[in-house]
Structure 1
Amino acid sequence: MSTDQIERSIVIKAPAERVWRALSTPQAFGAWFGVQLEGEPFTPGHHARGPITISGFEHVIFNAWIERVEAPSLLSYRWHPYAIDPHVDYSGEECTLVTFTLQPSDDGGTLLTVVESGFDKVPAHRRVDAFHMNSKGWEAQLQNIARYVVQ
């Protein structure tokens, strides 16, 4: 089992265009992810930043740098994983890369896969917790986007 990357997938019973809008539009992304974001659709070089709205994590600021946007099949960004301590400056750490890919599924829906890689570069004292929490987090977030898209 890799300790450098997390990979999770889900089949969403919706067309890729609908899943893509939920990924690439800040307001829609924020609605299912649990972050208050505004602005134009994500574009490479864009900095997405806003407060987390999930209970117990309201003190955390979502901070991501959009890297690739290939509509309607790929979106990636970099961020500091599990950066939840408001008293820690994470800016000196390397970011992990989060990549969402969309593909048609056999049943006419959309296979959404998220891969977060680069955990081996997270400082050793944070690596295990960041990997563990984000592993659980991506499982929950894929369920969240599926619910959001099919509602």
Structure 2
Amino acid sequence: MIVDESLLIPAPPERVWRALTDALDRAEWWGYIDLDVTPGGKVEERWSDDSGHPMLTQGVVTEVEEGRMFRFTWSYTDRPVATAVEITLTPAEAGTVVRVLEVGWNHLPDGPATAADHRAGWRIHLTNLRRHLSP
């Protein structure tokens, strides 16, 4: 099972990269995530699930190609198995295509349900990013 979401963002790659990697810029559209986009950097996202229960996902950035792509692994603090996320930026005529690929669901007992939740979450984040960068 793979989560694979893409969206055209009406902004050049440099601007999209800044919105993804600059903490102040990112806070305008993502909400709370502590994300240090350097190899070995920390990833920590806090949110509340549908029932209002606080959630925490933690991980580490594993690879960065400045301005083009970064990868990280992360997991819920109550689950030892991590998924791997790759976010890529591809220049397009009308802006930048941002693609989010998340794998590793087959190692989780509730993999399909959690993958569906993450797919919905990535759609929300990408839509918020597009709204943030739309003229």
For the aligned pair, the TM-score class normalised by the smaller chain equals 0.7 to 0.9
Paired residues, number = 135
2:114 corresponds to 1:127? no
Counterpart of 1:61 in structure 2 is 56
Does structure 1 conserve the Cα–Cα contact (< 8 Å) formed by 2:43 and 2:74? no
> Offset at 1:141?
1.3
Counterpart of 1:12 in structure 2 is 9
Secondary structure at the counterpart of residue 34 of structure 2: coil
Q: How does 1:128-147 map to 2 (within 5 A)?
A: 128-147=112-131
Counterpart of 2:92 in structure 1 is 105
- Mark the CA change 1:149 to 1:57 in structure 2 (over 3 Å): closer, same or farther: farther
Letter in 1 for 2:16: V
2:53 and 2:133 mapped to 1: Cα distance? Answer: 24
Letter in 1 for 2:93: D
Q: Which has the higher strand share?
A: 2
RMSD between aligned residues? 2.4
Correspondent of 1:78 among 59, 73, 84: 73
Secondary structure at the counterpart of residue 29 of structure 1: helix
> Offset at 1:128?
2.0
Q: Aligned residues: percent identity?
A: 26
> Offset at 1:102?
0.5
Letter in 2 for 1:89: D
Does structure 1 conserve the Cα–Cα contact (< 8 Å) formed by 2:6 and 2:98? yes
2:75 corresponds to 1:89? no
> Offset at 1:54?
8.3
> Offset at 1:57?
5.3
Which structure 2 residue ranges, 5 or more long, are not aligned?
none
Say which is worse superposed, 65-74 or 47-56, in terms of deviation. Answer: 47-56
Q: Structure 1 length normalisation: TM-score?
A: 0.77
Secondary structure at the counterpart of residue 145 of structure 1: helix
